[in-house]
């Protein structure tokens, strides 16, 4: 069994954003030489997500508006107890639960085995600082 571990760093200059990281993951898979296996791709931070959906700007707008409705930003420590720690990012921890921490994808014949519209995204919910994504390939 082969394995390769890589770390990607992102520093998004807004609070919330969605960034297509498929090319970076494809590169790691290609360079791994793994023909059949799995790739795990996860946020190493708990106010960010890695998920698979569509690379369409209107949908990303919809994701943002929808997440804000389900888990609104509110720095008030009476609304979110987490903000009693001095942080103001409780909403980002909730948004990340909706969008998920990680993706596990199949590698078949040396490539990401994806449907026609599948693209991997880094979802940032508390940006303006450097944060990491782990990519781990295992297989043969």
Considering the complex, what minimum distance in angstroms separates the CB of residue 27 from a second copy? 18
The correct pick among 14, 58, 76, 78 for binding a second copy (CB under 8 A) is 58
Regarding 71 and contact with a second copy (CB under 8 A), the answer is: yes
The correct pick among 20, 104, 129, 130 for binding a second copy (CB under 8 A) is 104
Considering the complex, what minimum distance in angstroms separates the CB of residue 33 from a second copy? 14
Q: Which residues within the stretch 109-138 sit at the binding site for a second copy (CB under 8 A)?
A: 113-118, 132, 134, 136, 138
Regarding 24 and contact with a second copy (CB under 8 A), the answer is: no
Three-state SS string across the chain, please?
Answer: CEEEEEEEEEECCCCCEEEECHHHHHHHHHHHCCCCEEEEEEECCCCEEEEEECCCHHHHHHHHHHHHHHCCCCCCCCCCHHHHHCCCCHHHHHHHHHHCCEEEEEEECCEECCCCCCEEEEEECCCCCEEEEEEEEEEC
Nearest alpha-carbon partner for 7 in 139, 122, 126, 125:
122
Contacts to a second copy by CB under 8 A: 1, 3, 5, 36-38, 40, 42-46, 51-54, 56-59, 61-63, 66, 70-71, 80-85, 90, 93-94, 96-106, 108, 113-118, 132, 134, 136, 138-140
């Amino acid at each position: 069994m082969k394995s390769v571990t890589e770390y990607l760093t992102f520093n998004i200059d807004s609070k919330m954003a969605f960034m297509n990281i498929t090319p970076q993951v494809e590169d790691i898979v290609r360079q791994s030489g793994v023909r059949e296996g799995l790739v795990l791709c996860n946020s190493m931070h708990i106010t960010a997500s890695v998920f698979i959906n569509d690379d369409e700007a209107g949908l990303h707008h919809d994701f943002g508006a929808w997440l804000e409705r389900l888990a609104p930003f509110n720095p008030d420590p009476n609304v979110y107890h987490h903000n009693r720690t001095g942080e103001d990012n409780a909403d980002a921890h909730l948004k990340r639960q909706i969008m998920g921490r990680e993706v596990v994808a199949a590698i078949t014949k040396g490539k990401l085995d994806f449907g026609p519209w599948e693209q991997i995204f880094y979802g940032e919910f508390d940006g303006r600082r450097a944060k990491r994504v782990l990519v781990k390939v295992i297989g043969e």
